[in-house]
Amino acid sequence: MTGPLVLALDEGSSSCRSILVDGTGAMHGESRANVVWENPRPGWVELDPVRLWADQLSTIRRAMTSQGVTGADLSAVAVTTHRETAMLWDRATGAPVHNALVWISKQTDEIVQRWSADGLDELFRERTGLRNDSFFSAAKVVWMLENVPGLRRRAEAGEIAFGTPDTWLLWNLTGGRSHLTDHSCASRTALFNLESLRWDDELCATLDIPMEIFPEAVASDSDFGFSSADVLGAEVPVRAVLADQQAGLFGQACFTPGSVKNTFGTAGVLTVNAGEKAVLVDGLTSSVGWTIGGVTDYELEGVVFHSGQTLSWMKDNLRLFESNDEIEYLARLVPDSAGVYVVPAFGGMCAPHWDRAAKASIVGLTLESTSAHVVRAGMDSMAFQTADIIDALEAGGVPVDTVKVDGGSARSDLLCQLTADLSGKVIQRPTSLERTALGAAFVAGLGVGMWDDIGQLEQTWICEHEFVPQIDVGTREERRAGWRDAVVRTLPSLHAPTT
């Protein structure tokens, strides 16, 4: 390891990680633990906040021990986490009042429908850049206020703290001294005003959410306090908090407006740097990318609920293969999916279709279809959904030429090539795919002088392989027409009976 070190905490939807980043941008001692979801009822997805912190803490200690590092060796800590998941806890004891409600959970559907009937959809869009949807944190907070006995009274009395996973980890990391979030994480709650960069008190009043619960929302490169000595062995400054997709955008060196990255993780997320003004595009969401050095950059984003998770479902539920190492081998056994399409709407369809009532389907099966065709169709679905989001961007006046990719599934040459073929865009894969932790570490490192400016950070991004489209336009359009037909079949909103 070279020079000063940043400890990056990277808590995602499927795993939490701790990684040490040195002054060259090299990563060392990665340790990870699985994030365990609970399903108390069909469609409900929760997690235990206490276990989440315990698992993150275990990865911190393993990462540091593996490299012989103590708290005295650390220059800063960076925190990046998955978004939209919401939790409430007791300010005095730090004890959660309920399990956290995970971003994909649908237990808030009735609340969202109620708000829609009240005519609030456009208010959400105009104020927050997001949608009135169960995906975001707003309805999760209200669900807990309405379903946990006595909680509203305690919240109004200032006894309860709200946070997304970043705020919860920061609270525990600092021994309850910091109740903060950054602009990027706050902007994914559907309660944060993109123009004022503050919690929207008028919207919160309309939703009957007490302002007393909120963390202070600050710049991404703020002084977030110091870690407790009993956590890291020393009081180390926390100098960066970023939402995971925004951290990935920064880690991919997408510093200029129009630069694009796509993450193939549990979910799939395509994000574009929109510059210093929030932009609204049909089918996509607008959020804060980051606030660094007093300047706010915004992002446009399209989320695919089930990307890599589609292949995990094929392994764990359908038993089509035993390990992830077999995926590409199986998919390459056939030249294409032979007309089979997998539409992975397990939790509904997100961007750009936005139909949470959609159900997953496999379309086009024949007696000649094999497991290889289904696996190939599952991989195709990841590329098709990415192409759909790119189409929405370009329809909104945002041209896309090149997409940088990251996430575990981006290791697949076949997936990257399929994405290039089906989107018609150049796909660039960097030498390191762990861009999320790196992005957060970059922000913290800038804050403590490890790097002078983003120009130095750009030099750490190296393209390992570039994938260019290899199919003709006619073949691309034929395959995408089949995909669009399969998607239409899954969308109840397009098949509702007329009166």
Structure confidence at residue 213 as a pLDDT band (50, 70, 90) = very high
Q: Does residue 404 register a pLDDT over 90?
A: yes
Dump pLDDT digits (tens) for 53-100.
999 999 999 999 999 999 999 999 999 999 999 999 999 999 999 999
Place of tokens 């994405």: 419
Structure confidence at residue 2 as a pLDDT band (50, 70, 90) = low
Dump pLDDT digits (tens) for 348-397.
888 898 888 888 999 999 999 999 999 999 999 999 999 999 999 999 99
Q: Does residue 347 register a pLDDT over 90?
A: no
List the domain range (segments joined by +) for residue 116.
5-244
- Range 108-133 average pLDDT: 95
pLDDT at 92: 96
pLDDT at 357: 84
- Range 309-321 average pLDDT: 89
Cβ atoms of 45 and 22 closer than 8 Å: no
Nearest to 435 by CA among 140, 17, 49: 17
pLDDT at 169: 97
pLDDT-wise least confident of 226-230, 376-380, 436-440, 457-461: 457-461
Residue 441 covered by a domain:
no
3-class secondary-structure state, position 389: helix
Convert 93-124 to b/e letters by CB count within 10 Å (16 or more is b): ebebbbbbbbbbbbbbbebbeebeeeebeebb
Place of tokens 């390459």: 332
Residue 104 covered by a domain:
yes
- Range 391-409 average pLDDT: 93
pLDDT at 498: 44
Residue 231 covered by a domain:
yes
- Range 451-477 average pLDDT: 92
Q: How many domains would you assign to the chain?
A: 1
3-class secondary-structure state, position 451: coil
pLDDT at 499: 42
Strands laid side by side in the 295-304 sheet: 285-292, 295-304, 268-275, 260-264, 402-406, 426-430, 463-467
Using CA atoms, how far apart are residues 427 and 469, in angstroms rounded to an integer?
9
Burial of 323 (0-12, 13-18, 19+ CB in 10 A): exposed
Residue 107 covered by a domain:
yes
CA atoms within 13 A on the CB side of 246: 33
* Nearby residues of 26 by Cβ (< 8 Å), 6 or more positions away: 1, 2
Q: Does residue 137 register a pLDDT over 50?
A: yes
Token couple for 386: 């990415």
Residue 56 covered by a domain:
yes
Using CA atoms, how far apart are residues 389 and 218, in angstroms rounded to an integer?
30
Residue 383 covered by a domain:
no
3-class secondary-structure state, position 483: helix
Q: Does residue 492 register a pLDDT over 80?
A: no
Using CA atoms, how far apart are residues 39 and 67, in angstroms rounded to an integer?
37
Residue 374 covered by a domain:
no
- Give the DSSP H or E segment for 54: helix 49-66
Dump pLDDT digits (tens) for 412-431.
999 999 999 999 999 999 99
pLDDT at 277: 93
Tell me the one-letter amino acid at 262.
Answer: N
pLDDT at 495: 52
pLDDT at 497: 47
Per DSSP, what are the bridge partners of residue 238?
Answer: 77
Using CA atoms, how far apart are residues 81 and 17, in angstroms rounded to an integer?
10
pLDDT at 186: 98
Q: Does residue 128 register a pLDDT over 90?
A: yes
Length of the chain: 499
CATH for 66: 3.30.420.40
Using CA atoms, how far apart are residues 79 and 77, in angstroms rounded to an integer?
7
Q: Does residue 494 register a pLDDT over 60?
A: no
Dump pLDDT digits (tens) for 140-191.
999 999 999 999 999 999 999 999 999 999 999 999 999 999 999 999 999 9
Nearest to 221 by CA among 241, 235, 237: 241
Using CA atoms, how far apart are residues 440 and 245, in angstroms rounded to an integer?
10
Residue 11 covered by a domain:
yes
- Range 93-120 average pLDDT: 95
Query: What rounded mean pLDDT belongs to the chain?
Result: 93
